[in-house]
Amino acid sequence: MKKFYLTTAIDYANGSPHIGHAYEKILADAIIRTRRLEGEECYFLTGLDEHGQKVAETAQKQSISPKTLCDGVAEKFKGLCVRLMVDYDDYIRTTDERHKIVVRKILQKLWDSGEIYRAEYTGLYSTRAERFVQERDKVEGRWPDDIGEPIELKETNYFFRLSHYQEWLIDFLNKNPDFVVPAFRQKQVIEFLKEPINDLCISRPKSRLSWGIELPFDSDYVTYVWFDALVNYISAVGYEEERFGDYWPVDFHVIGKDILVPAHAIYWPIMLHALGIPLPRHLLAHGWWLAKSGEKMSKSLGNSVQPLDYVDFYGADAFRFFLLREMITGQDGNFSHDLFVARYNADLANDLGNLVSRLINMVGRYCSGKIPNPSSVGPLDRDIEESAQRLIPSVRMEYGNFAFHTGLEQIFSFVGQLNRYVETRAPWKLAKQTGNPTATGQLNTTLSFVAEGMRIVAELLRPIMPWIGPEILRRLGTSPVDTWENLSWATSAAGKEVLPEGILFPKVEWRESHAMS
């Protein structure tokens, strides 16, 4: 049966993992975890993009082979996934034999069908972007940073007939307005296609670059990185094998906005179409994390964020929470250490963590450690139940639309309501009125309802905070549901024994936290 198949971009092997890599994987992982909780069978692919000039140059500087360099980088990136609790099913590397075989097979097919031709070309070549560029790539009349100053180059190369398919692609996009999510990005693709597109140079002479996959029909050339990299999405799931149909067409390619046009929205659909392979169902293009001042993050500017520093200090759950709470999927977001600490302290330490500790303490003190059965239910209690009942479908819908920020906002607004409920009811006062059945009834109902509300919160947090969600459930003496189909208000924790354990989110002093920023 066809699985829900989702991929991320494969990261370049010429640097260290940064917040952008971390965010994309966390976003993809949260989508996958949500789908799994919705009862779908899923497959999650990520990986490493290893060929190209920059990797070759870095390896040369370190006097090691490119493959040795990539082996080390792959370990680092995989390690990042483990630390971030990103639970992928497969990790593809473009140096994998299984990948190289498919790239060569595809090149041969396109060559045989006349989609690739050989020609001499004179043009502007950007070493930084590793491609021929055109005047139209300029931004406000200047070459942007990711292109740098191009050089004029005359070279015989192989070209893919991209231009043949321009009208077909425009037509496809018009017929499939939700191909790119969010919709405003699809408009950008259509805008780009208003100008004629050139055929794509898909080769590099080995004399200039040898670290790549050799063309099957000319051993003096290797293939261009994008032609190699994009193919990972099909080489990983057994292109031309029987199992291919269990995965393809992919449901979502999760990518950053910078690699939407032209790579994913133009090269890739045309490559697939020319090969007679069905197109991806959707591309999900997320925005970029920028520094506080709104500028690009970079090592040289000294404003980049090291994801593992945050994971070490605050834990992966808190880091994941912040990235998904703060960023509106599809738009850019600003990362600021102060904002991180403020959110951590307010939402996680004060609102969520404190409530769990208070609840467990009160159940320990007033109910011998067992969650009581609710007794009398008044309007105040009913409000809690009704809010929880509304919260479940609403958060499921928001997550389903990738609006994790809104889903989380709703969850934490409910946590606030639970906190106010506790304050209003003041179980510590009710507990003092021994022999007063109304007070005892209210005490039991309050603790039971907070426990049930908390159970629902913990369940809904699972895709975002894969450790904390189940951990809260464990402390409440209960276990996670299989699928969210089975999640509803049920005061099902009654009679369960709570576990008084350490603080979930220790409050952080701004000064102390600043040592790492």
Give residues in contact with ligand MSP (CB under 6 A): 9-12, 19-21, 23-24, 49, 229-230, 232, 255-256, 258-259, 288-289, 297
Is 19 or 371 the residue whose CB approaches ligand MSP more closely?
Answer: 19
Is 232 or 448 the residue whose CB approaches ligand MSP more closely?
Answer: 232
Is 21 or 100 the residue whose CB approaches ligand MSP more closely?
Answer: 21
φ and ψ at residue 372, rounded to 5 degrees: -75, 165
Q: How far is the CB of 479 from ligand MSP (least distance, A)?
A: 35
Q: How far is the CB of 65 from ligand MSP (least distance, A)?
A: 20
φ and ψ at residue 145, rounded to 5 degrees: -55, -40
Is 212 or 256 the residue whose CB approaches ligand MSP more closely?
Answer: 256
Q: Which helix (H) or strand (E) holds 285?
A: strand 282-286
- From residue 181, alpha-carbon distances to 16, 91, 189 in Å are 28, 24, 11
Question: Using the 8-state DSSP alphabet, how is residue 257 labeled?
Answer: G
Q: How far is the CB of 78 from ligand MSP (least distance, A)?
A: 14
Q: How far is the CB of 290 from ligand MSP (least distance, A)?
A: 7
| Closest to 224 measured CA to CA, from 131, 122, 117 | 131
Residue 332 pairs in a beta bridge with: none
Residue 247 CB neighbours (<10 A): 23
Q: How far is the CB of 49 from ligand MSP (least distance, A)?
A: 3
Contact by Cβ (8 Å): 46, 36: no
Q: How far is the CB of 434 from ligand MSP (least distance, A)?
A: 57
Is 230 or 391 the residue whose CB approaches ligand MSP more closely?
Answer: 230
Alpha-carbon Rg for the chain, nearest whole angstrom, is: 27
Question: Using the 8-state DSSP alphabet, how is residue 370 labeled?
Answer: B
Coil/strand/helix, residue 11: strand
Is 293 or 424 the residue whose CB approaches ligand MSP more closely?
Answer: 293
Torsion of CA 408, 449, 492, 357, to 10 degrees: 70
Is 229 or 318 the residue whose CB approaches ligand MSP more closely?
Answer: 229
CA gap 200, 191 in Å, rounded: 19
Residue 123 CB neighbours (<10 A): 17
Q: How far is the CB of 316 from ligand MSP (least distance, A)?
A: 18
Coil/strand/helix, residue 143: coil
Is 255 or 367 the residue whose CB approaches ligand MSP more closely?
Answer: 255
Q: Distance of alpha carbon 498 from its chain centroid, rounded?
A: 34
Token representation of residue 311: 């994971």
Is 24 or 381 the residue whose CB approaches ligand MSP more closely?
Answer: 24
Identity at 294, one-letter amino acid code: G
CA gap 47, 273 in Å, rounded: 24
Identity at 495, one-letter amino acid code: G
Q: How far is the CB of 50 from ligand MSP (least distance, A)?
A: 9
Q: How far is the CB of 267 from ligand MSP (least distance, A)?
A: 10
Residue 191 CB neighbours (<10 A): 10
Q: How far is the CB of 304 from ligand MSP (least distance, A)?
A: 8
State the angle between helix axes of 316-326 and 307-314 in degrees (0 to 180), rounded to the nearest 10. Answer: 120
Is 11 or 317 the residue whose CB approaches ligand MSP more closely?
Answer: 11
Is 42 or 259 the residue whose CB approaches ligand MSP more closely?
Answer: 259
Is 93 or 396 the residue whose CB approaches ligand MSP more closely?
Answer: 93
Q: How far is the CB of 256 from ligand MSP (least distance, A)?
A: 2
Q: How far is the CB of 7 from ligand MSP (least distance, A)?
A: 8
Q: Where are the beta strands (DSSP E) in 234-315?
A: 252-256, 282-286, 289-291
CA gap 182, 188 in Å, rounded: 11
| Closest to 224 measured CA to CA, from 94, 69, 136, 48 | 94
φ and ψ at residue 508, rounded to 5 degrees: -110, 135
φ and ψ at residue 36, rounded to 5 degrees: -65, -40
